[in-house]
Amino acid sequence: MAKWRFELTRTQRAYVNSDAIINAIIGPMGDGKTYASIVALLRHAQRCGRPIRAAIIRDTHENIKNATVRSFQEVFEKYPQLLRWRDDFKKLTIFSSPRVECDLFGIDDLASLSKLQGPEYALVWLEEPAPMADRANAGLSEEVYNAALARCARQTGTTPRLQISMNPADEDHWTYRRLILEPDVNPEYPLITKKVFFVPYGENPVMDEVKRQAVKMAYQHDKASYARYVEGRFAPIYRGERVTPEYNPEVHLSKDVLEPKEGLVGFRIFDGWHNPACLLGQVTPEGRLLFLDLVVVDNGDIRSLIEGKVIPLINSPRWRNKVKMWRDGATAPCSSRTSPTARCRRPRWWKCCSIPILSLPLACGCT
């Protein structure tokens, strides 16, 4: 049996040797996350002390063949005889000690989750669960993560491990909530531990300066992508054209939590369609608008927003008896969208609102 030492950075070594159940390695583009995850496969077999079965999952099987398979071939370049591929790269045996049997598959839709139902695994590896671009079928869904966590603990006599290797995602992506915002140990499930390892920029010596500058130059005009692929951190991604491109959180966002002040005029600005929202704030004596709260209903209607979010909020201790009068505006529909002289009419959904309305088109949808 061939033996050799893997050269690992400090972060890679900590990730490979982690005894947590859930392990994620997150970092800039090209900083050795896949390499460390391949080594972690072999290390986990040693940890279990017996041959293990593992699943390697990406968004598509084509991406497995074009990226993950090539990474294995590079890692085992000196010992290609240790790898045996079968069934169009859907099966892999690593003749390590102990041996590792791998199933590799892409999950292009939720129906593909059935691929996880049969085999019992000691390790499941999710490779790049976040999409590189905002496309409907890119990345892996949260349902895949849930199924992977359940299946990685199924092989008898082994220790479960769910490992994730990825570039940082959009802050709205499920990985940010499940890996970053949720606690490392849930008191209700204390045995399911989690560790997240961030690769510092420049730590991987294999990534030379030419490659680093190429990535920097590619994303120099895209702040969100620069944060994700160069700096290695999660970042907000704004889809489509910004409504207020002048907004700068360093200038416009208060560093302190602002409370509604008693005696001021309040305003509520509504937006409808499939994800209705309402902005609530107050007008200062100097005439400044202070936006204090935002409530949203995903895939709902304006009635649900008003009855379920707006009314409870203005009746809460935060807002109750603070506002002397309300001014309300909305993206009101027009009687004719094509006529520049069309007059606004009150939206039908005003009728479902039991809060006092002073109709002022602060955000009129007319052209």
> What are the boundaries of each domain within the chain?
10-231, 255-352
pTM: 0.67
- Residue pLDDT, tens place only, 279-301: 999 999 999 999 999 999 877 88
Find the mean pLDDT for residues 109-119.
68
Task: Supply the pLDDT for residue 240.
Answer: 66
Q: SS3 of 86, please?
A: strand
Find the mean pLDDT for residues 27-51.
94
- Whether the CB-CB separation of 43 and 16 falls below 8 Å is answered with yes
Mean pLDDT (the chain) is 84
- CA distances to 133, 153, 170, 173 from 37, in Å: 23, 18, 22, 22
Backbone angles phi, psi at 328, to 5 degrees: -120, 140
- pLDDT classification of 92: cutoffs 50, 70, 90: very high
Task: Supply the pLDDT for residue 356.
Answer: 45
Q: Which two tokens stand for residue 139?
A: 């990345």
| Comparison of pLDDT for 20 and 361, the residue scoring more | 20
CATH code of the domain made up of 10-231: 3.40.50.300
- Residue pLDDT, tens place only, 136-165: 446 898 989 999 999 999 999 999 999 999
Q: Which two tokens stand for residue 180?
A: 């970053």
pLDDT above 90 (res 208): no
Pick from 15-19, 236-240, 261-265, 317-321: least confident: 236-240
